[in-house]
Structure 1
């Protein structure tokens, strides 16, 4: 599912808009209704509540309270195979030049010692939406415009909607199990952590999710955390949805090390333990490759690549090679080190997915630029052995 930028052209639209009850950046001392497309207000002299109706011209209103907000009107409707209509939310940090009071963001990941968070939600029935905790990061200390990396923590979803991209495995963070999705909306990369059942409230360290994203190769410790947000993405309905309480700090005073990534689990449940050696597979080892485009737009694309060891011997360390069709260039990757010379591509395992037992699979993905129509590679080889394309 592709999704356009949530607050595209927000700065210009804010200047032209009319905000109900408060001015942008005002401090709400009592409940405050906001119906302007990108209207916002400050609560608790620490957080910003924003309407952020970016995907529809239909009316949406929210009520900012002393501790959060609720949706009081939401007339927009969007098909579930497309983008949501808005992202009303509360945030700390900087979003399109709108920075919360006293924030220390943007801040480099390596400077963060912890990021204690607490959230409570009110859910409703009969609507189609997700309740998402959003974490935004960028290679630069950016205070304006779109960031390159979005982490979405889906604590609830109702209706036939799904995150951007495709599932790449499962993980345990903050004492809970999450299904992990990965992809791009054409504007930025997205990693989503999806809860198996609705979470009405949660206290956790947001740094756990940032570190897991880093361990997947999507960011580095030199990247900057720019904002942390909590809110709803409605496709249809949503009146009564509320963030009843929100607390987010970003603490420094130490260094954030780069630990060795722990083993992950593939979407099929097969473990992919950390490798102990880097020996190539025996000659004749069979393999299959499934090459799946997850998003294609006019000048770019994202793909997921699944490798399965079909032989009888364990593979310790792998290198998948193939040629990209003309007009395609890899720009960034995850769960593999992907390099390109001319049309030739080499995708090598990272330290946590290099061992493939007989019958085991692993996945990686990447984003690329595109000139002309998208086509997939026609042939693949794993450690020099031809693989069947499935």
Structure 2
């Protein structure tokens, strides 16, 4: 299976047979040969983990390599022969200098991390040209990462495909990508570009924000390495990384803001919450959309009340019978901000009497690989008069399905779940309901943003 090379390299390190990268090694023909360049700023690795056929790479001390010999003939239904590549960060205890990796994806500096690459492709062979971004739940510098492997395919030649199956599409870094997901002991999320390119300059956060929004990664995880290279199945001579960079700001500077988001619309408004949706922005500056800021005002001044990596947001904890105004602003991977959208005005429902409204709080009882139970969802009448009935709404993450709900009836529309009870609820009284749901394997999300009315 692809990426078993990581296990092999770990064993070689443990036995002392894998030496630290040498400073000067212009041609590498050893299966796991590697060389540090630019005073160990980057490491180039031959990395023939999936075949016994010959492969040699000519290391470019300026920041790349060329595959000069490649006799591979692997079947396209199986694993590639290897992953000749250049990287920054830590890969099985071989760490570069000055990368600041591992870095937690919630760190303030994470949004400024960029990488760029320029490649050359031969006219024959079966291969992909791809980035490999590794994430681990811990700041790991050695061993196998167990969080997420994010692959960014700039090109593919021949009848090959990523691990798993296609789960959607995404518009990132100025292009459209197929999104694939599989799990081989860790989450593998692959982005396959709709049109071939020989170069890419992007913000790491552009792709990882999409990974997190799909539930395949966590902000608490650490980026451990950024790698760029090729996975050859057949042939591969002539593949080349002409240049590679990684760091804060990368090799290019994106100063172009995204376009203005569409005017928000509101739905599912209750006494304490509302759900906003808007038209997507586009980004042509190269760093790609990173998300949206949601701005709210009750007077003249707008303040940010939340962020979203999709084109919707549920605002909770609002006051009953109160008018709010909302705008949305897009943000790209270089933290450029778009113009603010037009305003939508929302007035919450009156709720259950003076000081009224109702509140809903949810507890996750248990989770497993592809499902969970939420119980109890506690509904409390905060007013001074009886509620003749109540509704609780919450967004259901993409790919999730409710398989049962008790002590309430429910409907699902456009990804929003509405739970209802026709029974009355006295002042300051509480009741509860629960439900069970399924989710895609490897997805870590559970619903949030419950509103009651």
TM-score norm. by structure 2 comes to: 0.57
Q: Which residue of 2 aligns with 1:312?
A: none
Encode CA deviations 1:207-227: one digit per residue, 9 max, x unaligned: 111111111112221110100
Q: Which residue of 1 aligns with 2:45?
A: 50
Q: Which residue of 2 aligns with 1:240?
A: 238
Q: Which residue of 1 aligns with 2:440?
A: 365
Check if 1:262 corresponds to 2:261: no
Distance change (3 Å), C-alpha of 1:352 and 1:11: closer
- What SS class does the counterpart of residue 10 from structure 1 fall into? helix
63, 84, 88: which one aligns with 2:84: 88
Distance change (3 Å), C-alpha of 1:120 and 1:259: same
Q: Which residue of 2 aligns with 1:8?
A: 7
User: What is the CA-CA distance between 1:4 and the residue it aligns to?
Assistant: 4.5
Q: Select the structure with the greater relative contact order (CA < 8 A; seq sep ≥ 6).
A: 1
Q: Which residue of 1 aligns with 2:33?
A: 39
Q: Which residue of 1 aligns with 2:219?
A: 221
Q: How does 1:332-351 map to 2 (within 5 A)?
A: 332=369, 338-339=371-372, 349-350=396-397
- What SS class does the counterpart of residue 155 from structure 2 fall into? strand
| C-alpha distance in structure 2 between counterparts of 1:214 and 1:27, whole Å | 37
| C-alpha distance in structure 2 between counterparts of 1:177 and 1:167, whole Å | 14
Q: Which residue of 2 aligns with 1:153?
A: 152
* Contact kept in structure 1, 2:175 and 2:194, CA below 8 Å: no
* Greater Rg over alpha carbons, structure: 2
Q: Which residue of 2 aligns with 1:190?
A: 188
- Structure 1 alignment gaps of length 5 or more: 264-273, 279-328, 342-347, 358-362, 369-390
Check if 1:61 corresponds to 2:56: yes
User: What is the CA-CA distance between 1:349 and the residue it aligns to?
Assistant: 2.2
Check if 1:356 corresponds to 2:350: no
Distance change (3 Å), C-alpha of 1:225 and 1:276: closer
User: What is the CA-CA distance between 1:5 and the residue it aligns to?
Assistant: 2.3
| C-alpha distance in structure 1 between counterparts of 2:230 and 2:165, whole Å | 21
Q: Which residue of 2 aligns with 1:317?
A: none
Instruction: Give the count of matched residue pairs.
Output: 282
* Contact kept in structure 2, 1:275 and 1:352, CA below 8 Å: no
Check if 1:79 corresponds to 2:75: yes
* Contact kept in structure 2, 1:17 and 1:37, CA below 8 Å: no
User: What is the CA-CA distance between 1:355 and the residue it aligns to?
Assistant: 4.4
- What SS class does the counterpart of residue 160 from structure 1 fall into? coil
Distance change (3 Å), C-alpha of 1:63 and 1:14: farther
| C-alpha distance in structure 2 between counterparts of 1:121 and 1:210, whole Å | 23
| C-alpha distance in structure 2 between counterparts of 1:15 and 1:77, whole Å | 30
| C-alpha distance in structure 1 between counterparts of 2:195 and 2:33, whole Å | 32
Q: CA RMSD in A?
A: 3.1
Encode CA deviations 1:93-113: one digit per residue, 9 max, x unaligned: 000111012231111111113
TM-score norm. by structure 1 comes to: 0.66
| C-alpha distance in structure 1 between counterparts of 2:51 and 2:367, whole Å | 33
Encode CA deviations 1:12-49: one digit per residue, 9 max, x unaligned: 43687999xxx732224xx7001111111111121000
Q: Which residue of 2 aligns with 1:199?
A: 197
| C-alpha distance in structure 1 between counterparts of 2:240 and 2:367, whole Å | 41
* Contact kept in structure 1, 2:181 and 2:190, CA below 8 Å: yes
| C-alpha distance in structure 2 between counterparts of 1:211 and 1:367, whole Å | 16
- What SS class does the counterpart of residue 73 from structure 1 fall into? strand
Distance change (3 Å), C-alpha of 1:56 and 1:169: same
* Contact kept in structure 2, 1:91 and 1:229, CA below 8 Å: yes
* Contact kept in structure 1, 2:209 and 2:309, CA below 8 Å: no
| C-alpha distance in structure 2 between counterparts of 1:340 and 1:142, whole Å | 32
